[in-house]
């Protein structure tokens, strides 16, 4: 699940990124409204999390332009503005939810889960690759009908590989797109994560799905 967080308070962004990544989300960030609008228009996000008081372009304007462009991506306002009129305005502009700071991170996760579940009613999010089935809304994966025991970060990695099935993904791309991490070419974090994922996905099956392309990266493909 890929999120865009548009927030100008760097401490808040750091807190959000850490918590969201730990819960299996991939996170892009912007610190002003103009940059946020461009990322929103050009990206492929599952949810936008917007502050209202932003430099350059406020959250109201960002959301208005985003909806005018025809985008239906769910939007959650996360802001210190707590007046009822502010909440009403946000919903009228096309926001799906509104959460006031200070907030409970547990509540934020619950609200994100709710609005992405609503989105799944408009379009199927389930991925199928041979006998591997992933449901990103429930964050569940099964192979040959058996549920896989995956951590949130394991699921994010598997989901990325399944979305890009048949494509070789570099270690740097996996770090950035699966976990929202700044790419670190010399670390072995991806190799360890892929090894762990293989023990869940391929162990006990005659034909593996996750393969190493030496010197390049990793690929998931349906067994022949």
Domain residue extents for the chain: 2-120, 127-220
Backbone angles phi, psi at 186, to 5 degrees: -90, -5
Q: CATH 1.10.10.10: does it fit domain 127-220?
A: yes
pLDDT at 120: 56
Which of residues 129 and 126 earns the better pLDDT score?
Answer: 129
Report the DSSP beta bridge partners of residue 76: 49, 97
Q: Answer yes or no: are the C-beta atoms of 138 and 117 closer than 8 Å.
A: no
pLDDT band, very low/low/confident/very high, at 221 (cuts 50, 70, 90): very high
Closest C-alpha among 18, 29, 123 to residue 73 = 123
Query: From CA 5, how far away is CA 136, in angstroms rounded?
Result: 19
2-120 CATH fold? Rossmann fold (3.40.50)
Q: What does the pLDDT look like over 131-182, one tens digit per residue? A: 999 987 777 899 999 999 998 888 889 999 998 999 999 998 888 777 766 5
pLDDT at 184: 61
pLDDT at 210: 97
Backbone angles phi, psi at 159, to 5 degrees: -60, -45
pLDDT at 187: 73
DSSP 101-154: SS--HHHHHHHHHHHHHHHHTTS---EEETTEEEETTTTEEEETTEEP---HHH
pLDDT band, very low/low/confident/very high, at 123 (cuts 50, 70, 90): very low
pLDDT at 19: 93
Considering only 10-24, 37-51, 118-132, 145-159, which range has the smallest mean pLDDT?
A: 118-132
């Amino acid at each position: 699940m890929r999120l865009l967080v548009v927030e100008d308070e760097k401490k808040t962004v750091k807190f959000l990124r850490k918590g969201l990544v730990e819960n299996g989300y991939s996170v892009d960030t912007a610190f002003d409204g103009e940059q946020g609008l461009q990322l929103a228009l050009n990206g492929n996000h599952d949810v936008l999390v917007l502050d209202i008081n932003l430099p350059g372009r406020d959250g109201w304007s960002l959301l208005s332009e985003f909806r005018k462009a025809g985008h239906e991506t769910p939007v959650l306002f996360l802001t210190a503005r707590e007046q009822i009129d502010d909440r009403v305005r946000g919903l009228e502009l096309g926001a799906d939810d509104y959460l006031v700071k200070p907030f409970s991170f547990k509540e934020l996760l619950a609200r994100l889960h709710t609005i992405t579940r609503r989105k799944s009613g408009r379009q199927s999010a389930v991925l199928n690759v041979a006998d591997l089935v992933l449901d990103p809304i429930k964050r569940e994966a099964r192979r040959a009908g058996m549920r896989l025991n995956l951590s949130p970060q394991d699921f994010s990695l598997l989901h990325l590989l399944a979305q890009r099935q048949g494509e070789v993904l570099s270690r740097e791309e996996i770090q950035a797109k699966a976990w929202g991490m700044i790419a670190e070419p010399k670390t072995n974090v991806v190799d360890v994560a892929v090894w762990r994922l293989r023990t869940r996905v391929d162990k006990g099956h005659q034909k593996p799905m996750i393969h190493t392309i030496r010197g390049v990266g990793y690929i998931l493909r349906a067994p022949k």
